[in-house]
Amino acid sequence: MAVLEMGPVGLKVKFLRTAEETAGELLEFEVSGRSRGFLAQGHVHPDQSEHLEMVEGAMRVVIDGRDHVIGPGESITVPAGSPHSQIPEGGGDGTVRITVRPAGNTQAFLERLAEMCASGQMTRSGFPKPLAGARLIRDFWQAGHASKPPLPVQLGLARVLLAPSHLMRPYVFVDEWEVAAPPEAVFDAIADARSYPEWWSPVYIDVESDGPPEIGKESRQHFKGRLPYELRTRSVISELDPPRVIAADVDGDLRGRGVWTLTPTDGGTHVRFDWRVHADRRLLRALTPVLRPLLRWNHNWAIARAMEGLEPYARRHAAVEATPVASGA
């Protein structure tokens, strides 16, 4: 049977009979260790009874304010909806066999808790970090929740904590314009990020690259907008189809993906830039929910500089390519 490691709360959980095996009638598992943190606090299972059978060690079970101490071979049942706590008694670790009826989603709750313990979402003292705790009560209050404060208050606090994550949706920008230059010249300018400080000024301050554009090649950008901060990103070319498409995956202060699509026209090239990113810098994450329109204005200003600089740059380079090279006698 699967064993879940939960170091921050001091426990290991071994499943004996799962909800799937009992058609949802019950879940049986053994808990070993010495509980601490939020698992040792008072809590309630709204719709499930919990039968506790001590295998090793001793435990003090407080049900509706009354103390009960059980040792090896002794057991007690906590009725559904009864506030209770389970506190290690004496020294050392213990083992208790727990049967929950009906099974509900307790197994999923325990698996989530193990995942939180493994991924750094718990404090050293065994309590969930705020956002992780908010998600836990939102998703698993039916399996169990703290005795205090009242459940509606807990759910309300969870909604407040999680609300910013809904506001932190990605930025999605789509910009299109016409460039009076051949697609090949426009493609070369966009594909080689090392040229950005030349034509996309003053937005791009510096760009370093591993070399000419190829799939998998990396470049590192240092740029700014009208707002008083500078950004640094790393881009890896993920799609290169001359002279039609250039795409790159981006991380750093911004994280996401940019796609340039070029379409030949009678007068030159139609340029479309799809830019979908999250702000990873702490200041930007904080500003995003309240200043999204201002940050969009900042993007629009930066794209206007691209529109100003790309065409003359591409036209100059197209002219150079078209100039015949004199041959010696």
Q: Which residue shows structure tokens 């760009």? A: 207
Q: In the prediction, which pLDDT does 164 show? A: 58
**Rounded Cα gap, residues 61 and 78, in angstroms:** 9
Q: Which residue shows structure tokens 């998703």? A: 139
Q: In the prediction, which pLDDT does 280 show? A: 65
Q: In the prediction, which pLDDT does 286 show? A: 58
**Rounded Cα gap, residues 142 and 97, in angstroms:** 21
**CATH class belonging to 3-163:** mainly beta
Q: In the prediction, which pLDDT does 91 show? A: 83
Query: Cα-flanking dihedrals φ and ψ of residue 270, to 5°?
Result: -95, 125
Q: In the prediction, which pLDDT does 227 show? A: 81
Same fold, 3-163 and 171-322: no
Which of 239, 233, 235 has its CA nearest to residue 249? 235
**Rounded Cα gap, residues 118 and 12, in angstroms:** 12
Q: In the prediction, which pLDDT does 281 show? A: 62
Q: pLDDT tens digits for the chain (329 residues)? A: 578 999 999 999 999 999 999 999 999 999 999 988 888 889 999 999 999 999 999 999 999 989 999 999 999 999 999 999 998 988 889 999 999 999 999 999 999 999 999 988 999 888 999 888 999 999 999 999 999 899 999 998 888 777 655 455 678 999 999 999 999 999 999 999 999 999 999 999 999 998 899 999 999 999 999 888 888 999 999 999 999 999 999 998 888 999 999 999 998 999 999 999 887 666 565 555 556 677 788 899 999 999 999 999 999 988 877 666 454 44
Query: In CATH, what is the architecture of 171-322?
Result: 2-Layer Sandwich (3.30)
Judge whether 248 and 241 are in contact, CB under 8 Å.
no
**Rounded Cα gap, residues 133 and 139, in angstroms:** 10
Domain-wise residue ranges, the chain: 3-163, 171-322
What are the residues whose beta carbons fall under 8 Å from the beta carbon of 219, sequence distance 6 or more? 193, 194, 207, 208, 209, 210, 234, 235
Query: Cα-flanking dihedrals φ and ψ of residue 97, to 5°?
Result: -95, 125
Helical H segments across the chain, by residue range: 106-118, 130-140, 151-167, 183-191, 196-199, 282-322
**Rounded Cα gap, residues 237 and 278, in angstroms:** 18
Q: In the prediction, which pLDDT does 76 show? A: 96
Distances (CA, A) of 31 to 75, 128, 239: 14, 19, 50
Q: In the prediction, which pLDDT does 44 show? A: 95
Distances (CA, A) of 244 to 235, 247, 270, 309: 19, 10, 10, 20
Indicate the pTM of the whole model.
0.53
The Cα angle at residue 37 between residues 35 and 41, in degrees rounded to 5? 85
Which of 48, 45, 43, 68 has its CA nearest to residue 58? 68
